Amino acid sequence: MEVLLWYLLAVNIFTFIMFNLDKWFASTGGWRISERNLLIACLLGGAPGGYLGMKFAHHKTRKSFFAFGVPALGILQLVLFIWIL
């Protein structure tokens, strides 16, 4: 169980950073992180971190798939985590 907690903490921090880096790259005209990779990070357990990253950086909030899909995935992941406990 402890390994799962550390994994979820790491993947959520990583996903949060990914969303914020992509926003920074977008504003500076630099290299971008693909939407596919952002979604994969969310699917691997990082949806809560992705949602927080979206809100913190105001990034991908207008894309309906991200605006509705990431929060729904995060809720599903939280329910699954609580069920596992």
Residues 2-27 have pLDDT tens digits of: 999 999 999 999 999 999 999 999 99
Q: Decide: 11 and 53 in contact? Cβ < 8 Å.
A: no
Q: Decide: 75 and 42 in contact? Cβ < 8 Å.
A: no
- What's the rounded mean pLDDT across residues 27-36? 93
- In the chain, the number of structural domains is 1
pTM of the entire predicted model = 0.91
**Encoding tokens for residue 33?**
């992180």
Domain hosting residue 49, numbered range: 2-84
In the predicted model, is pLDDT for residue 50 greater than 90? Answer: yes
Of how many residues is the chain composed? 85
Q: Decide: 38 and 23 in contact? Cβ < 8 Å.
A: no
pLDDT at site 56: 96
Please say whether the dihedral angle defined by the alpha carbons of residues 47, 53, 54 and 56, taken in this order, is positive or negative.
positive
Spatial distance between the Cα atoms of 3 and 82, rounded to a whole number of angstroms: 15
